[in-house]
């Protein structure tokens, strides 16, 4: 471990500490280097879109932010708190499972394959975390859950099981489930990749509204239109490295890096 790295803010940004700070993170799967010395910030209220070919490490980066993967080197801090380790004296001590579970409360995650709990209805999926993990009173949790369902346009599907919902509806319930935990950061791992084309729009609409409400988001996606319109920053990854980043409109229209240019051409055409 390299330990917590002193954070220097990129010039021109506001004085506040970014919500997410990723410093020199590397991750191996066996001998395969999934992430290679990745450093990046996400300021409060910003939407960062991560694009790149499959196997480029973009999903791995996202999963490291939620500690679904453990990093092998570097450091990640969310909301001023170092992930996975506690600094004691000169050493970083690994946190317990319970402490890691508590750290995950700061982030909500939306998966490519929705991963709704199959044995629970839409509303039960949403209140499961607040009631079981946060120990909120059930009545309150249900009221808030119903409000969230209305927010994603699915108030009428309250008592439907995931198997009775379309992919787009399942993904919207999954977004509501993540929001029910009141996270500071929302992670989206290719949220529309498993959807039929006609269902993509409804999910992107919910995400767009969420971005407008000021939520900090990291979105791994192939939807370049969404990245261009909603994203504040676009990050290109390839072979576990960030090869290009910047304003989405600039990066997508005039990629400086040759590999990024090839990718943009292939995806947009």
Partner 1 sequence: MRDHATPAHRDILDLAGLKLVPRRYYGRWIAAALILLALGYILRAFAMGQIEWKVVGQFFTAPAILAGLVNTVIMTICAMVLGLTLGVVFAVMVMSPNPVLKVVATFYIWLFRGTPLLLQLLIWFNLALVFPKMGIPGLFEARTVDIMTPLFATMLGLGMNQGAYTAEVVRAGILSVDTGQTEAAKSIGMTRLTTLRRIILPQAMRFIIPPVGNEFISMVKITSVASVIQFSEILRNAQTIYYANARVIELLFVAAGWYLIVVTFLQIGQFFLERHYARGIGPSRPSPANEEGKA
Q: Under the rule (CB under 8 A), what is the footprint of partner 1?
A: 66, 68, 97-98, 101-102, 104-105, 107-109, 111, 113, 115-121, 123-124, 128-129, 132-134, 142, 159-164, 174, 177-178, 180-181
Cα(45)–Cα(185) distance, integer angstroms: 9
- Listed in sequence order, the residues at least 6 apart from 24 whose beta carbon sits closer than 8 Å to its beta carbon are 2, 5, 37, 38, 39, 73, 74, 75
Measured from the CB atom, is 72 or 128 closer to partner 1?
128
Cα(196)–Cα(219) distance, integer angstroms: 19
Which of these, 112, 118, 199, 115, lies nearest to 161 by C-alpha position? 118
Residue 195 DSSP one-character state: S
Which of these, 19, 7, 12, lies nearest to 214 by C-alpha position? 19
Cα(140)–Cα(127) distance, integer angstroms: 9
Write down the least CB distance from residue 175 to partner 1, Å. 12
Measured from the CB atom, is 5 or 100 closer to partner 1?
100
Measured from the CB atom, is 35 or 173 closer to partner 1?
173
What residue has token string 């990245």?
227
Write down the least CB distance from residue 200 to partner 1, Å. 20
Write down the least CB distance from residue 244 to partner 1, Å. 29
Beta carbons within 10 angstroms of residue 13's beta carbon: 11
Measured from the CB atom, is 84 or 248 closer to partner 1?
84
Measured from the CB atom, is 206 or 243 closer to partner 1?
206
Write down the least CB distance from residue 16 to partner 1, Å. 26
Q: Could you tell me the two tokens for 243?
A: 């090869």
Measured from the CB atom, is 23 or 104 closer to partner 1?
104
């Amino acid at each position: 471990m390299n330990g917590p790295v002193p954070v220097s803010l990129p010039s021109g940004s506001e004085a506040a500490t970014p919500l997410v700070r990723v410093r020199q993170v590397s991750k191996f799967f066996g001998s395969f280097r999934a992430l290679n010395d990745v450093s990046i910030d996400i300021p409060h209220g910003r939407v960062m879109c991560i694009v790149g070919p499959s196997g480029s490490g973009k999903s791995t980066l996202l999963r490291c932010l939620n500690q679904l993967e453990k990093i092998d080197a570097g450091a990640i801090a969310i909301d001023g708190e170092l992930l996975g380790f506690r600094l004691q004296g000169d050493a970083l001590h690994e946190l317990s499972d319970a402490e890691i579970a508590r750290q995950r409360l700061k982030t909500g995650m939306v998966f490519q394959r929705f991963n709704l709990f199959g044995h629970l209805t839409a509303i039960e999926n949403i209140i499961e975390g607040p009631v079981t993990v946060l120990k909120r009173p059930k009545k309150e949790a249900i009221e808030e859950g119903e409000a969230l369902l209305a927010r994603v346009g699915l108030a009428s599907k309250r008592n439907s099981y995931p198997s009775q919902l379309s992919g787009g509806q399942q993904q919207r319930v999954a977004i509501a489930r993540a929001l029910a935990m009141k996270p500071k950061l929302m992670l989206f791992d290719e949220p529309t990749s498993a959807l039929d084309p006609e269902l993509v729009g409804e999910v992107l609409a919910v995400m767009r509204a969420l971005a407008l409400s000021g939520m900090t988001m990291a979105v791994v996606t192939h939807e370049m239109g969404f990245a261009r319109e909603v994203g504040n920053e676009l990050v290109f990854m390839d072979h576990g490295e960030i090869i290009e980043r910047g304003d989405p409109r600039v990066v997508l229209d005039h990629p400086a890096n040759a590999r990024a240019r090839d990718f943009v051409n292939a995806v947009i055409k």
